[in-house]
A = this chain, B = another copy of it.
Amino acid sequence: MIDLHTHILPERWPDLCAKYGYPGWVSIEHCGACRARLWKDGRMFREIQSNCWDPAVRVADCDASGVRVQALSTVPVMFGYWAKAQDAADLAAFLNDHVAGVVQAFPDRFTGLGTVPMQDPRLAVRELERCVRELGMPGVQIGSHVNGRNLDDPAVVEVLEAAAALGACVFVHPWDMMAADRMPRHWFPWLVGMPAETALAVGSVCFGGVLERLPSLRIGFAHGGGAAPMTLGRWEHGFRERPDLCQTMTRESPRESIRRVWFDSLVHDPEALRLLLSVAGNGKVALGTDYPFPLGELSAGEVVRKAGWLDAEMRESILHGAAAAFLGERASRAVRAAGGAGDGRVPPHVDATA
């Protein structure tokens, strides 16, 4: 199995507030050997364990769950899009060098997706090129928006154009969720806001004509596209009934456009996976677990194992082939290594019916 959606952090990093001279940056406080806390603006953002930073722990977890390769990307709270661009670029370079180092140490087990300072397209493209050309990464992870600008904003599209030209993949992750003031309880920014963010991002590249204009762009979305698969019928209907509102930037309908993109499989429900596959098409849904976070798929491939109606070809595509196609040639060594696990087999000690 190839896991397209995992997060990693360095074990330590400098005091960024001191380094850059203003607050808002995330700090890490270790509590013993295996636990740490992330702090932001004086508030605890998240508690993490050593599987978030220790490659050896990750490899052991992967061996236990049958994952051959993880695509490593930073935690979205580290994007720094809100900050001075030069500082975000500096942090991105630090994080990307760290990821590249982990991949270099375990080239058969990891591949890396970089982060880039999206608030400044010129700096973002420069770091994207460095990720691909110097660090050997297959692509980058970006947020679902950039300081409120959606993915069809010209400044964002500039980076997507560069990615398409480079042959770099772009994995889109929800972050800085909309309408947080409406969601004070029940973890709703994660449970309602994130799916809405992702749908807005998918919708933006469809209705904004980005996919039509950049046919070679490989772009993928976390969490099975969030609300997008369930809403596609509504989008398609709106597109046809109100061309004055919906066809201003493209004539390609959302149902056509959405076939161009990839999604991860993180929907936690075989029936939702069925809808996602009907929307995305075979070959466009790739295993993603959100490892090592608790809202992720804690047993990698669980939703695929539950979807007993998947045939061998579809299962192989989700567990291996779709990610290999999305990541492309630059992930080739790791992906070749994963080939043997691409048949959907799980280690004998994993309950295949769980």
A residues contacting B by CB (< 8 A) are 145, 148, 150, 152, 178-179, 181-183, 185-188, 190-192, 195-196, 199-200, 203-204, 207-208, 223-224, 226-227, 229-238, 241-242, 245-246, 248-249, 267-269, 271-272, 274-275, 278-279, 294-295, 298, 303
Contacts and interface: CB of A to CB of B under 8 A. Distances in A.
B185 A248 contact: yes
A234 B203 contact: no
Contacts of A191: 203, 207, 231, 234-235, 238, 246
Q: How many copies does the complex hold?
A: 2
Contact of A295 (B152, B234, B268): B234
B187 A294 contact: no
Contacts of A196: 178-179, 192, 195-196, 199, 227
Contacts of A279: 271
A306 to B, nearest CB: 10
A227 to B, nearest CB: 3
Contacts of A238: 187, 190-191, 295
A233 B268 contact: yes
Given A186-B246, A196-B196, A233-B268, 17 more contacts: A178-B179, A178-B182, A178-B196, A183-B200, A185-B248, A186-B249, A191-B234, A192-B199, A195-B234, A224-B230, A227-B231, A233-B269, A237-B268, A241-B298, A242-B295, A272-B275, A274-B274
A160 to B, nearest CB: 17
A226 B231 CA distance: 7
Q: Which of A192, A203, A248, A298 has the most CB of B within 10 A?
A: A192
Contact of A267 (B181, B207, B230): B230
Nearest to A275: B275
A275 B186 contact: no
A193 B241 CA distance: 18
B150 A182 contact: yes
